[in-house]
Amino acid sequence: MDYEIKAVTTDDVKELQEISRETFKVTFDPYTAPADMKRFLKEDYETEKLIREINNPDSRFYFLMVGDEVAGYLKINVGDAQTEHLRENALEVERIYLRTSFQHRGLGNVLLDFAEKTAREEGKDYLWLGVYEKNIPAQHFYKRHGFEKVSQHIFQVGSDPQTDWLLVKPLTK
C-alpha cells in the first residue's frame, strides 16, 4: 500500500479537527455518556486549541496519507508538551488515530514505527503513551510492540474520569 507521512500545519486544522472528532467518537462512544462525549469533542478539539498545539514547538502532528485521503494521524510530544513526566529523555505518543476504513491494514504499525524512529533519531531513551484501560485491542497492539505498563492516570472525558494505563518502551541504543 502506498502511503506518505506529512507534517500537519495550521492550514490543516479543519481536517485535523474532523478526523480527531470522528476517530475519538467511534473508538470511545461505547464507554462514554453522550453528554460527556459531546463536551469532550467540542472542547478538546476546538480550533484555537488545536492551533496552539500545532504551534507548540514540543508537539508535532503528522497525517498518514493513503493516496489523497487522510487515513489517520500521529501526535508526538517531548519536553513540557508531554502529558506526564514519566521518564527523563522520553518521547510521548499522545495520539495514533486511524479512520475505521483504514484500520486492520498495518497502518497503526506505520505510525508507531515512525514515532519510534523519530525518538531514536532524537536520541531519546524511552517511548511512552497512555491507553484506555478498556481498550483491549490497543493494549495488545502496544504489547506486541514492546510496551509495558508502568503506571496509570486519569483521562477526563467531559465529567467522566477514565483510567489510562501508562505504557513505556525502553529504546536501547
Q: Residue 34 belongs to a domain with what CATH number?
A: 3.40.630.30
Q: Which domain holds residue 42?
A: 4-128
In a domain, 137, yes or no: no
Give me the mean pLDDT over the 21-32 stretch: 95
The one-letter amino acid code at 87 reads R
Q: Is 80 helix (H, G, I), strand (E, B) or coil?
A: helix
**Tens of pLDDT, residues 10-20:** 999 999 999 99
3-state SS, 116-158, equals HHHHHHCCCCEEEEEEECCCHHHHHHHHHCCCEEEEEEEEEEC
pTM (global) more than 0.85: yes
DSSP-derived pairing of the beta strands 59-66 and 4-7: antiparallel
Q: What's CA 55's distance to the chain center, in Å?
A: 17
In a domain, 23, yes or no: yes
In a domain, 116, yes or no: yes
Split at pLDDT 50, 70, 90, the class of 172 is confident
Helical (H) or strand (E) element with 70: strand 69-77
In a domain, 141, yes or no: no
Average pLDDT of every residue of the chain: 96
pLDDT at 47 over 90: yes
Please tell me the total count of domains within the chain: 1
| Distance (Å) of CA 126 to CA 84, 85, 105, 168 | 13, 12, 26, 7
Could you tell me the three cell numbers for 47?
480550533
In a domain, 172, yes or no: no
Closest listed residue to residue 126, CA positions, set 154, 93, 163: 93
